Amino acid sequence: MARFVLIPGAGGNAWLWHLLVAELERRGHEAIAVDILEDDPRLGLEEYAQQVLDAVAGDPETVLVAQSLGAFTAPVVAERTPLRGLVLVNPMTPLPGETPGQWWAATGQQEAREAADRAAGRDPEMTEDTHFYHDLPDALREAAGKGGRAPSATPFGQACEFTAWPAIPLKVLVGRDDRFFPLGFQQRVVAERLGTAPEAMSGGHLLPLSRPAELADRLENFLSEAHVSA
């Protein structure tokens, strides 16, 4: 059995993880999805990290899993509490002291996304349906469109306060079909910033919704690869 604490991406909605939580629990693991009210402008990166720290509750057996913008919370938490391991899912991989607002231009995300759209024959105009929901079943697509929270501007101007990525087992999982953070873009950014290669799997940006069983498989494989018994 393993214990997973799951950090959502922009908006902070724990619903992102509900299918993965059910899948992990079915396999005998504990899974806690943190719900963060990122639409509240009074909250920022420090408050997000504190909420995740509360969920970790000082348990060194916790595996932290962070999706997209949640990667700006993960290294802060990892510096403040012992963890079993860290998994980033389609992440915005930060440098120490970088703000989420700086990340876009520093990585060249928009240019990479637009180039991938044009190469695939898609309209490069950014839309949620095209870049986030394209590989979701109809029912999930409808629910995702209705239930989202938009993040406030507050965290995008705040530095990610950590000194270095932790010296613990770390894996980066990315979707081969992610239209928002294309595969080639992620391979470059992760290599430059973490010195490792991301592991690609089927699916787009919202892997916990589109591929919960395969994502659970990858998390269990991570435990085995890290020589930590589940």
Which letter does DSSP use for residue 64 in this model? Answer: E
Average pLDDT (17-30) is 98
Distance of CA 137 to the CA centre of its chain: 20
pLDDT band at 144 (very low <50, low <70, confident <90, very high): confident
Cβ count within 10 A of residue 124: 13
Please state the rounded mean pLDDT for residues 118-131.
96
Q: How far is it, in rounded angstroms, from Cα 66 to Cα 87? A: 6
Cα–Cα separations (whole angstroms), residue 20 to 59, 102, 104, 112, 127: 21, 31, 28, 29, 25
pLDDT above 70 covers a percentage of the chain that reads 98
| Mean residue pLDDT across the chain | 96
- Digit-coded pLDDT (tens) for 36-67: 999 999 999 999 999 999 999 999 999 999 99
pLDDT band at 225 (very low <50, low <70, confident <90, very high): confident
Domain boundaries defined on the chain: 3-225
Average pLDDT over residues 191-213: 98
CATH number belonging to domain 3-225: 3.40.50.1820
Q: In a 10 Å sphere around its CB, with 0-12 CB exposed, 13-18 middle and 19+ buried, how is residue 147 labelled?
A: exposed
Q: Is the pLDDT of residue 226 over 80?
A: no
Q: What are phi and psi of 211, to 5 degrees?
A: -140, 55
Distance CA 191, CA 53 (A): 28
Identify the pLDDT of residue 227. 62
Q: What average pLDDT does the segment 114-124 reach?
A: 97
